[in-house]
Amino acid sequence: MPWQISSVCRPAPVAKQTADQWLEDLSDRLIAEGALSVSIEDADADQCDKEQPLFGEPGSDMALRAWPASRLHVLLADDQDPYQWWQRCGFPIGESSPEVARLHDEDWVTKTQAQFTPLEVGDRLWVGPSWHAVPAQYRRPPRIALIIDPGMAFGTGGHATTQLCLEAILQASDQGLLTPASRVVDYGCGSGILGLAAAACGVEQVVAIDIDPVAVTVARANASLNGLGHRVRCIAAHEDVFAQADFPSSGFDLVVANILAQPLKLLAPLLWRLTAPRGGLILSGLLSRQAESLIAWYAASDPARPSLQVLGQRDGWACIGIMPG
């Protein structure tokens, strides 16, 4: 049973060193002193007014990639004396005496599975992993169920941005804006959950795209798991997605992208090109405070297109877009 030492610290970088580099160097030094592992998290994660989500988006300020106060969790072998080890290291990092605890052996498979609990979106969609039984009421139309095993890909339905996108897709379906003949693309598909939701609503032509080949494999497996492999085509995105796939020349009826704000800016010309003239565009992965600037960015990217609107907000996150015309 290994030891865990936990302590709160505030980065104190030296000249020409960012806060995240300081934390990385500190982690390396602790490992060199015999730590089995070092993990770092936001020390204010349980305080809504102080918590800061950090993503390290392309183009973001490197100095913003570390929290003002970080909690270190250091794992030590069970034959070490954690208090002597901490004093011997002599690093001026902790604001107070460290918390020391034994880590007991656990059934990590069961514990990991317990993190992915089923989710109901409105009264129409149930999303859950394969180790949970689908409730009887979701086995009959018009209600639908999706089995999502995330594997190493993002997207279980639990995050606010995924839920907002699912709600927008269901709304489009309920309003008759998505039909079996519609064409949908899920750009940055992760586990494939958004494209699969559109397919489960009846759309027969869905393309799921991701730059991560692991995500493409996971999405393809989830499509097969749900009996939707004939409707959902999963492909890896390279430099020119149009050159590697037979996309409709007129564009897709609905384009969905749940990524991050900075990549969404970089992808604006591509996502507009994928969207049919009267098609819908649903974007998420952005904070509520980023919505206005991203809407303006997309308006400038293609002034002939309708202006995007805020479709929903939850837990500090936003979903913006336009519905299919």
Beta 232-236 vs 252-258: how paired, if at all? unpaired
What's the mean pLDDT in 167-187?
96
Other beta carbons within 10 angstroms of residue 197's beta carbon come to 32
Angle formed at CA 154 by CA 151 and CA 155, multiple of 5 degrees: 95
Residues 48-98: pLDDT tens digits?
Answer: 444 445 444 444 444 445 567 778 888 888 888 988 888 887 765 555 578
| Choice between 165 and 113, residue whose per-residue pLDDT is larger | 165
Ranges in the chain annotated CATH 3.40.50.150:
115-322
Write down the mean pLDDT value for the chain: 84
Average pLDDT over residues 182-186: 96
The residue with greater pLDDT, 125 or 131, is 125
**Confidence (pLDDT) at 51:** 44
Rounded Cα–Cα distance for residues 125 and 104 (Å): 38
Using alpha carbons, select from 69, 77, 66, 53 the residue that is nearest to residue 25.
66
Domain with CATH 3.30.70 in the chain: 3-105
pTM passes above 0.95? no
Residue 254 vs residue 99, higher pLDDT? 254
CATH number of 115-322: 3.40.50.150
Q: Taking the CA atoms of 220, 223, 224 and 230 in sequence, report the sign of the dihedral they define.
A: negative
Instruction: Select the CATH number that applies to the domain covering 3-105 from these four: 3.40.630, 3.20.20, 3.30.70, 1.20.120.
Output: 3.30.70
* pLDDT at residue 79, as a whole number: 87
The phi and psi torsions of 189 (rounded to 5 degrees) equal: -75, -25
Weakest-pLDDT range from 98-102, 168-172, 218-222: 98-102
Q: Is the pLDDT of residue 172 over 60?
A: yes
